[in-house]
Structure 1
Amino acid sequence: MALGFLVYLAWSLHASLGEVLSQTNGIYLVASVFFWIGAHLVSPFLSALSLSRQHQVISYETAFRIHARNIIARYIPGGVWHTVGRVADFSDRGLSPRRIAGFVFLENSLAVSITLALGGASVWYFYGDGWGIIGAIGFFAGLIGLVMSRFIVNRWVVSGSEKISFAIYTGCIVAVGFFWAFAVAAFLLYLHAFPGWALSVSWLQIGGAYLLAWGLGFLAVFAPQGVGVFEAVLANLISDSLPLATTAVLISGFRLIMLCADTAVWFASRPIFSRRR
C-alpha cells in the first residue's frame, strides 16, 4: 500500500519532479551507490564479532559471504528474509541457536538504539517543540537500549562461555556506528545530486533526521523496512522549498540507490561463492 501511494504521488507530481530531476548530477548518484556498498562491507563485522568465541571464531570473510549471498532476500515481502537466510547459514556452521539468537537481537537492538540516540539528539538540538520532543524521547530511548542490550543478551539469551564480553560489545557498537556513518554519507550524496532541490537545513540536521526517521520506521513493524513511514517522517523534517509530497517521493528514490548497491554486492560476490563451493 505504501509503495502504491508513493507511485501515485510520483505520477501526480511528475511536473514538479521533472523540474528537479532534469538537473540531476549522476556523479553524486554513483558516489552514493559506492558509499552504500561501503556500508555492506562494514556490516559483517557485527556478525563476526558477536558470534565469535575462543573455541569457535567466525572470520570476516565467512561473515561477508553469508551476508552477501543472502542480500537479495531483503526484497522478498516481509523484510526479514535476509536475516532468516543468514540464520540458516550460521546454523549450518554448527553455531548454537542461543548464540545466533543473541546476534539477531544485537543486530536489531543496536541498529535502532544508535539511530534513535544519534538522530534523536540531533533533532532535539535543532528542532523546537513537536519534533524536538520526539527527538528527546528517541535520544533517551536509544541510550537505554545501548545500556541494556548486552545485559539482556547475557541474562536471558546466552549463558556460560557464550556470554558477550564488554570488549566485544564495544566493538559491535563501533561496527554499527561505522555502518550508519556510511549510510548517512550515501544519503547526503544522493541529496547533493539534485541541485534544483534547495534545502535550507544543514547537512548535520539532515543526517540526524535521516537516522531518527530510519529508527522510527524500524519500530513501525506494520511497514516492512519502514516503507512509507521513513519517507513521511524525513519529509516532515527536511521539507521546505518543495511540497511535502514531492519531498517524500524524492526521498523514496534513495531506495533505488540501495537496490543498485545491493545488486552490485550480490553479483560481485558470486565468483567467491563459486570458488568456495
Structure 2
Amino acid sequence: MARSARAEQPGRAFAGLTLPGLKAAGLRLPRLSLPGGLRPWITCLSLGFVLAALLGHGRQLLQLSLDAQGWWWLLLAVGLQGLSLLVNGLAWVVILRWRGLRPRPAPLVSLYVSSNLRKYLPGGIWHLAARVQALRQEGAPLQDGPTGTAPALVATLLDPLLAAVAALALVPLGGWQNGLAVLCLLPLLLLHPRWLQPLLLRLERQRARQLGLSQSLEQELAAGETGAAALPAIWPWGPLLVELLFVLLRFAGFWACVWAFDLQLSLDVWTWLGGFALAWTVGLVVPGAPGGLGVFEAVLLLRLAVELPQASLLAVALSYRLVVTLADVLTAALVGADERLAVSGRSSQ
C-alpha cells in the first residue's frame, strides 16, 4: 500500500502541469504569434520562392520565345478565363437560389464580375465586402429586395467554399500522389448539412468581424433571423456542379498556356489537371497576397517541377498569371460598358 501511495504522488505532482492546471494556478502559456500576422509571412515566403526561381532560371527564361501560334494560344486563354468568370457569376446565381433567395441573374452576374477586381486590393476581402454590401442595400439584385446581413454573408461565403471543394475533387484525377488523392476527396464530406451548417456559422461570424458587421449579425441572430442555420437540408449538388464547370474552364485557360510553350506532351493532361487544381485551391484558401499571387505559382512549381524543366514551368505559371489578370480587367470593362449601354438605351426611350 505504501508503494502504491508513493507511486501516485508523482502523478499528483504532474497533474498540475496540464493546461487546465496551469490556467487554474493563474499561469499563462506564451502564445506564439508572428509579427504582422500570418498573411504577410506567407506572401513573403511564396513571392521569395518564386523570385528565387526567377533568379535561378532567368537565363533559360530569356531564351524562351513564343511563335505566332503561341500568342494565339495565349489569346484563347484570355477568352477562356473571361468565360470562366462569367460562369462563376452564374454559379453565384445558383447558390443564392439554393439558399432560398430570388436573384436577378443579369444584375447579379454584373455585380460579381465588377466586384472581382477588388480582390487585388490589399487584404483580399474587399470583393467579398462589396458583394455583401450590395445584397444588403437598396437596389440589391434580388427580386424580393435587400436581404439581411446573415443571408448575405452565407451566400457570399458559399461561393469560394464550393469552388475550393470542387477543385480539390479534381486533384485525384492526377493519380494516387502518395495518398493526396484521398485527402482531397474528404472536403466533400463538409457539404453534408450536418457539417456544412456549423462550418458556415463559424465562418459567418469570422467574416462579420473582418467586415465590421458583427453587431448587425448578432442582432439578426438574436431576433431569430437565420443565416447558416437556414440552409436547405440537402447537399448543394447543383451549385457544386456549376463551380466544377468554373474550375474546369480555369484549367482550360491554363492548358492553353501550356500549349503556348509546347509543354502539352511533357505530362499527361490528368497530371496537369491535378497539379493545377491543387495549386489553384491553395492560392484561393491560403491567406497570402491578393489574388493568390505567389502562392499559386509556388505550389505549382513544388508539385510539378520535379517532372518538368523549371524554367518552362515558370514561364507557363507567369503567363497564366498575366492572362488571368488581363481577363479580369477586360471582362469587368465589357460588363461595365454593357451596363452603360443598357442605361443609355433606357434613358433614350
| TM-score after normalising by structure 1 | 0.82
Name stretches of at least 5 consecutive residues in structure 2 with no aligned partner: 1-43, 141-145, 205-224, 345-349
Taking the aligned partners of 1:84 and 1:5, their CA distance within structure 2 comes to 30
Change (3 A) 1:154 1:187: closer
Name the residue aligned to 1:194: 261
Corresponding residue to 2:63 among 11, 15, 19? 19
Secondary structure, aligned partner of 1:253: helix
Corresponding residue to 2:135 among 81, 87, 90? 90
1:226 deviation in Å? 3.0
Secondary structure, aligned partner of 2:192: helix
1:209 deviation in Å? 1.1
Name the residue aligned to 2:158: 106
Change (3 A) 1:212 1:6: closer
1:200-226 Cα deviation digits (max 9, x unpaired): 210111011111112223332244433
Corresponding residue to 1:41 among 80, 86, 92? 86
1:77-132 Cα deviation digits (max 9, x unpaired): 2222211112211111211111111112211221221112221x124x253xxxx3
Name the residue aligned to 1:182: 249
RMSD over aligned Cα atoms: 3.1
1:69 deviation in Å? 2.1
Corresponding residue to 1:116 among 145, 159, 168? 168
Secondary structure, aligned partner of 2:236: helix
Moved more, 33-42 or 266-275: 266-275
1:10 deviation in Å? 3.4
Taking the aligned partners of 2:66 and 2:101, their CA distance within structure 1 comes to 54
Secondary structure, aligned partner of 1:183: helix
1:54 deviation in Å? 10
Taking the aligned partners of 1:44 and 1:167, their CA distance within structure 2 comes to 22
Corresponding residue to 2:329 among 241, 250, 263? 263
Is residue 284 of structure 2 the alignment partner of residue 218 of structure 1?
yes
Is residue 238 of structure 2 the alignment partner of residue 171 of structure 1?
yes
Corresponding residue to 2:115 among 59, 64, 70? 70
Name stretches of at least 5 consecutive residues in structure 1 with no aligned partner: none
Is residue 180 of structure 2 the alignment partner of residue 134 of structure 1?
yes
Name the residue aligned to 1:204: 270
Secondary structure, aligned partner of 1:43: helix
1:172 deviation in Å? 0.9
Moved more, 227-236 or 80-89: 227-236
Change (3 A) 1:176 1:55: closer
Contact residue 216 and residue 230 of structure 1 kept, 8 A: yes
Change (3 A) 1:53 1:225: closer
Taking the aligned partners of 1:168 and 1:117, their CA distance within structure 2 comes to 15
Name the residue aligned to 2:41: none
